[in-house]
Structure 1
């Protein structure tokens, strides 16, 4: 089992890494070459860099991820592509995407995009808080306790 992180702009990378270390689980961060970093990370963390491009990281994650892995992303579309592979998918705010919830989320995203395309406005996400980070940490621990 590995934890994959959709790394472009993820506010929970460090949280996921610290939890993964507790369970001795490998973390793979997939991100654009634009986010290349010289920061040192623990041995259990590796990076996969992809070219610039709208969905380059998503395509690479779909290619690499396997049944039993965990994905951390806020991208509903990416979640919908890996759920059928037997992957557990967590949002950075601590909720889990499931086969039962993903269709509704995709439909909501579609209608919001339609509103924006026709000149309307939709609400953006709320600012990310420490409460969100704590909820993510607890959900990841709970999930790992189930599978380890």
Structure 2
């Protein structure tokens, strides 16, 4: 089995720098997938893929290219679900892992939140991204990456 790669749903990802730090330390390739607007890196271990402006183009590219044991970074719950089906490890930007055990509840809560916003019962504000979220993400990514590397050995 080959070394895992890290695939990042990059358009609104607040932890790109943290992903690069962990990947560099562990020698993993990172692919940032976006609709554009990211500055390319000269580092050969950091790839940028620009997809068309379609609604799910980045998600589709990630799912089409994710392999078993790869790591997907996303806040997008449907993408997390699709990536889990491919056998990938999935981590949200606040450090919360998506797993087969919790993805169903995450999808249900997403649907409930959308319903509440559509009916006007909720304004749909997200809490701000904190230093603690960033720190939790770093620790969680390090753990997931080390597990994925060990599984590939």
Give the TM-score taking structure 2 as reference length: 0.90
What residue is the counterpart of 2:69 in the other structure? Answer: 68
What residue is the counterpart of 1:10 in the other structure? Answer: 13
1:119 aligns with 2:120: yes
SS at match of 1:99: coil
User: How far off is 1:75 after superposition?
Assistant: 0.6
Question: 1:1-148 counterparts in 2 under 5 A?
Answer: 1-33=4-36, 35-37=37-39, 39-148=40-149
CA distance in 2, matches of 1:141, 1:115: 35
CA distance in 1, matches of 2:62, 2:148: 21
CA distance in 1, matches of 2:90, 2:74: 7
1:50-78 deviation per Cα after TM superposition (whole angstroms, max 9, x unaligned): 11122111111111111110000001010
Give the TM-score taking structure 1 as reference length: 0.92
Counterpart contact for 1:4–1:61, Cα < 8 Å? yes
CA RMSD of aligned residues (A): 1.3
State the aligned residue count: 146
The structure with higher relative contact order (CA 8 Å, sep 6+) is: 2
Counterpart contact for 1:112–1:122, Cα < 8 Å? no
CA distance in 2, matches of 1:128, 1:75: 15
